[in-house]
Chains A and B, each alone.
Chain A
Amino acid sequence: MHSFGYRANALLTFAVTILALMCAMASVSDNFNSPSPTSKVQVLNINWFQKQPNGNDEVSMTLNISADLQSLFTWNTKQVFVFLAAEYETPKNALNQISLWDGIIPSKEHAKFWIHTSNKYRFIDQGSNLRGKEFNLTLHWHVMPKTGKMFADKIVMSGYRLPQEYR
């Protein structure tokens, strides 16, 4: 009954149970954090704007992104993945989401930032609908935990417009 094997088994089971419980509690504790992030994005310049030979519009722009995501960090946060997406409607597509810039924030100290950048991924439409197009810039973030459930949310910034003519 009280052999070495039984004791080792009981100890292992207990240790794994406690570990699982602590992981679950760490994940649940994330729900008590109510973050209040802020963000501001400026389109500083349209670098170029043209129609590709295959008929799709492409635009390149310079952006100034500033954000304060410090309140997203809790003790169970491994990193925050943040990205800025252009979102707009076209006659053919009810939704277009195009990621323009993304970054990984490893710690709270780096969560208040501003960056001056041109779009990291190509801003290409499915078709030729971008002239004079009004679009939203949305800052999305995905909180990746050390363990447990992942969280995501966004800030929508509207009122941006592309030029009427190619350049």
Chain B
Amino acid sequence: MGWFGEAVDSIKSIQIRQALSQVVSLGLIVTSALIIWKGLMLMTGSESPVVVVLSESMEPGFARGDILFLHMSKDPIRAGEIVVYNVDGRPIPIVHRVIKVHGQRDTGEDYVLTKGDNNHEDDIELYAPGQRWLQQHHIMGRAAGFLPYVGWVTIIMTEKPIIKYIVIGALGLLVITSKD
């Protein structure tokens, strides 16, 4: 029996009050994660303040699995900045560097062309058919900070869902069976 028997016993011996307090502490963990995420959104002004690099197109600067912290301010986008942008019809945002900017005088609208540091060609091929430039509304944020490797956790979890379920299951079991 050993560990498993103990675990079953501890589940059996759960009192209603203890169970409630565990639900509350679990709720606290979930809500504080949500608070941090939403707080980051407010501080950075970007709808997704942290992104994981998924492709090799910005090597050797950013490798697969690195994490970027985004920042979105009123300042106009300028050449050289690394922006994260969405293209209509593409589910996954792209992280590339701005190489050309045309800022219109009348409308104040910027027309921007991007390219991956590790790619030979610029991104016109990646844009929607007929699209030549990115505009402000395509851009989700610009990269301001960088943390290596940490994003591998999410890459592994999305590519091997079984590991995700094992981790969630193990954590859940730990929470249920822990005796404070």
Q: Do A and B come from one complex?
A: yes
Interface of A toward B, CB cutoff 8 Å: 23, 27, 78-79, 81, 83, 85, 91-99, 102, 104, 106, 121, 126, 140, 142, 144-150, 152
Instruction: Using CB atoms, name the residue of chain B closest to A80.
Output: B61
Q: Does B99 contact A (CB under 8 A)?
A: yes
Which of A27, A81, A91 is the one whose CB lies under 8 Å from B117? A81
Contact between A104 and B117 (Cβ–Cβ < 8 Å)? yes
Max chain A CB contacts within 10 Å: which of B97, B99, B144?
A: B99
Which of A79, A83, A145, A148 is the one whose CB lies under 8 Å from B80? A83
For window 141-159 of B, CB contacts with A under 8 Å fall at: 143-148
Contact between A146 and B103 (Cβ–Cβ < 8 Å)? no
Q: Does B60 contact A (CB under 8 A)?
A: yes
Interface of B toward A, CB cutoff 8 Å: 60-62, 78-82, 97, 99-106, 111, 117, 122, 143-148
Contact between B80 and A81 (Cβ–Cβ < 8 Å)? yes
Which of B80, B101, B105, B147 is the one whose CB lies under 8 Å from A152? B80
Instruction: Using CB atoms, name the residue of chain A closest to B110.
Output: A95
Contact between A95 and B103 (Cβ–Cβ < 8 Å)? yes
Contact between A102 and B99 (Cβ–Cβ < 8 Å)? yes
Residues of chain B lying within 8 A (CB to CB) of residue A98 = 79, 99-100
Instruction: Using CB atoms, name the residue of chain A closest to B104.
Output: A93
